[in-house]
């Protein structure tokens, strides 16, 4: 299995684990979407969206940072990982992550974001 496939599967698994722990968590992106910034209400005591939280837990935040170490902001997980890992944006796992991120950015609690994504894909 390629590093890309392992990374996508691990991110999906970690997002699902976060949702089991914090189904009512809501990401507040008042300052713009960010993998490392933005308050999470009813969730982990760390800043950042659900994808950023999962990446932190997996120790792969370098995928979401520019070469100078600054966090990437405003780009979808599909845009970032398709380039960084060389995978097609149509990869089912990547589509799933992208949809969860989108639902969360619209204000859905994490559990709802995953439920909506599971029903739509």
- Cβ–Cβ under 8 Å, residues 7 and 81: yes
21's tokens? 């722990």
Q: What is the pLDDT of residues 20-40, one digit of tens each?
A: 999 999 998 776 778 888 889
Which pLDDT value is given to residue 15?
98
* Apex 108 CA angle, 116 and 98, nearest 5: 60
Residue 92 has pLDDT above 70, yes or no: yes
Banded pLDDT at 103 (limits 50, 70, 90): very high
Average the pLDDT over 84-106 and give the result: 93
Which pLDDT value is given to residue 71?
83
Beta bridge partners of 71: 65
Which pLDDT value is given to residue 36?
86
Q: How far is CA 33 from the centre of its chain?
A: 11
* Contacts made by residues 6-11, CB under 8 angstroms, sequence distance 24+: 7/60, 7/63, 7/81, 7/85, 8/81, 8/85, 8/87, 8/91, 8/93, 8/94, 8/97, 9/93, 10/58, 10/60, 11/51, 11/54, 11/55, 11/58, 11/60, 11/77, 11/93, 11/97
Q: How far is CA 47 from the centre of its chain?
A: 13
Residue 62 has pLDDT above 80, yes or no: yes
Which pLDDT value is given to residue 2?
67
Banded pLDDT at 46 (limits 50, 70, 90): confident
């Amino acid at each position: 299995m390629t590093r890309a496939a392992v990374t996508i599967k691990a991110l999906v698994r970690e997002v699902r684990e976060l949702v089991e722990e914090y189904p009512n968590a809501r990401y507040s992106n008042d300052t713009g979407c960010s993998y490392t910034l933005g308050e999470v209400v009813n969730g982990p005591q760390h800043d950042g969206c659900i994808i950023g939280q999962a990446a932190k837990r997996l120790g792969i935040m370098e995928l979401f940072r520019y070469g100078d170490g600054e966090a990437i902001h405003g780009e979808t997980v599909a845009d970032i990982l398709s380039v960084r890992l060389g995978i097609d944006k149509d990869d089912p796992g990547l589509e799933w992550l992208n949809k969860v991120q989108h639902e969360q950015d619209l204000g859905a609690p994490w559990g709802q974001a995953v439920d909506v994504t599971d029903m739509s894909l």
